[in-house]
Amino acid sequence: MSKILPVQKNDYIEVVFEDLTHDGAGVAKVDGYPLFVPNGLPGEKGKIKVVKVNKGYGFGRLMEITEASPYRVEPECSIYKECGGCQLQHLSYEGQLLAKEKQVRDVLQRIGKLPDVKVHPVLGMAEPWRYRNKSQVPIGEHEGGLIGGFYQQRSHQIIDMQTCLIQQEKNDEVVQKVKEICHANGVRAYDEPKHKGELRHIMARYGLKSGEVMVVLITRTNELTNKKKVVEEIVEAIPGVKSIVQNINPKKTNVIFGDETKLLWGEEVIYDSIGDIQFAISARSFYQVNPEQTKVLYDQALEFAGLTGEETVIDAYCGIGTISLFLAQKARKVYGVEIVPEAIEDAKRNAELNGISNAEFAVGEAEEVIPGWYKKGVVADVLVVDPPRKGCDEKLLQTIIEMKPKKVVYVSCNPATLARDLRILEDGGYQTVEVQPVDMFPQTMHVECISQLILKEGTNPCGCCLFLLFVERIYEVVMNT
């Protein structure tokens, strides 16, 4: 007999919100049954309508707030409720930082079984607006004109916007001007359902320190209507533009970039700086979108690494060398590895650009390259990882445990997979000393963390045991997020 749920679809009920989900929805419980309700805040009381029920959880719509949180504020953005770009503008910035700290503590305890690890208060921004240096905007058509903006929540309906309060104002200006120029020259937007049209996305990159601008036109077709005139007018209309690039993506896909990129005008890169390190940024480069907080993040990574100038450091998932080059200022030697060949070319160029000769970079999977270095006698005193949201590969975790670097500095964009991997490293002979969250993305639920681990005395598990631990932790992440 199936269990009778405590609520049914279309029920109207009063609830108390206890928490936030990873995408910013309020969490309320009825007899232990969780309901996820957008716009609800912890501590609030409200009336909701149940809109969907599943076996283990349901969804609701907030109809009325009967007791508001002291951290509730009026969103600054006029299209906040329609746009899916931000999740927390209705929560004060103080409240956002507290919520993110709680998120980190909760997953470390629930998934990582690390209730006693020191978690510092989140390092936030003095001004948590206008921080993003890259804007990539899907383009559509409405009433004969081009529109561009973020997708509406849980849809592919574009919400047209003139300004975005988390973007650098320069990027807003660039996107608006490029839209106008393309429309005036007869460029048609990409029609996703029909797989017709030309212009899929406009991307703008802005060098905060250099003032340089890159415009990227992402198209379905190799040709673009009146391409020559479009380029000429962009150059004339946008001060600071140094690069205009076309990327061709002919596939039916949600992925923004295609495989082919070609320069239409100017230079292939623009430049920007984080601290004393200058970076060349191409259309496809991964470069942190919040340079002010990136400096905070990397300074913390340097502090946790505790370099004296005598250490060998390995930077797994090194990208274009951002962290590697910071580390190289204080280390004897830095080795960086990244699976994307173009990123390694950028890393090498950035090392040369800054006159850094003690950094070496290799293309490949970290879990394959690092054991090869180890066999050649490269032993890391400090190993730094900055993996994608899925966390570290199991082979890399095993390599870290076998290599036994004295310190591991783990930079993470996903607290859940961080907690999973910390547990595995703890079981493999490491101690998590402290975790420092950094708010790289104000007004959203995302939070970055830097963790410091040190090698302790103990016996490493065998490879089979480590694999079983990894599978177990993946299951816990899935069940708890």
Amino acid 440 reads M
If 0-12 CB within 10 Å is exposed, 13-18 middle and 19+ buried, where does residue 409 land?
A: buried
CA–CA separation, 353 vs 279, rounded Å?
Answer: 8
Residues 5-8: contacts with CB within 8 Å, 24+ apart? 5/33, 5/53, 5/55, 5/58, 6/30, 6/31, 6/32, 6/33, 7/33, 7/35, 7/50, 7/53, 7/58, 8/50, 8/53
Is 413 labeled as catalytic in the residue annotation? yes
Q: How many other β-carbons are positioned within 10 Å of the β-carbon of residue 264?
A: 18
* Residue 335 φ then ψ, to 5°: -115, 130
Catalytic choice (413, 449, 462, 464):
413
> Any idea which residues carry the catalytic annotation?
413
